[in-house]
Amino acid sequence: MSGKKLTCFKCGQVNRVPFDKLMAEPKCGTCGTGLMTGGVPEVDLATLEKAARTDDVPIVVDFWAPWCGPCRQMAPQFQAAASDLKPQARLVKLNTEDHPNAGAKFRIRGIPTMAAFSNGKERARQSGAMPSSAIVSWVKASV
């Protein structure tokens, strides 16, 4: 069966979605969560690692923390970019306050920092708050 592998950001199950169904709001076969919603779900380190390693659709993660003013300022811009980039990429957020090991593992020196993953590897990294148009341009150039 052909299609794209997508990790469910809620339960961690890997799903295979036919190419023609990517824009049709595919759902996880295990828990029913939307896989390609254009939203920005929160993920933990284990789910991020699995998705970055497994998924056929690029993943862009925003490493952030609730106390970070620029992070909060960029959140609606990141959300708008997620909607614009569907189905080319899936955007997620990882709270470095809740998951400090993620910051160490990915050598995050400052937040907000975005990292783009494709074909199991980190392809690009960008620090600092950006408007949605710049996020979209950066993602398209990176993955």
Q: Is 8 a catalytic residue?
A: no
CA distances from 2 to 20, 21, 77, 87, 88 (A): 10, 12, 33, 17, 17
The answer to whether residues 40 and 46 touch, using CB atoms and an 8 Å cutoff, is no
Tokens 């190419």 correspond to: 19
Beta bridge partners of 63: 94, 113
Q: Which of 8, 11, 31, 68 is catalytic?
A: 68
Structure tokens that stand for 85 in this block: 């980039």
CA distance 33 to 52: 19
Which residue is catalytic, options 8, 11, 31, 71?
Answer: 71
Is residue 68 part of the annotated active site? The answer reads yes
Catalytic residues: 68, 71
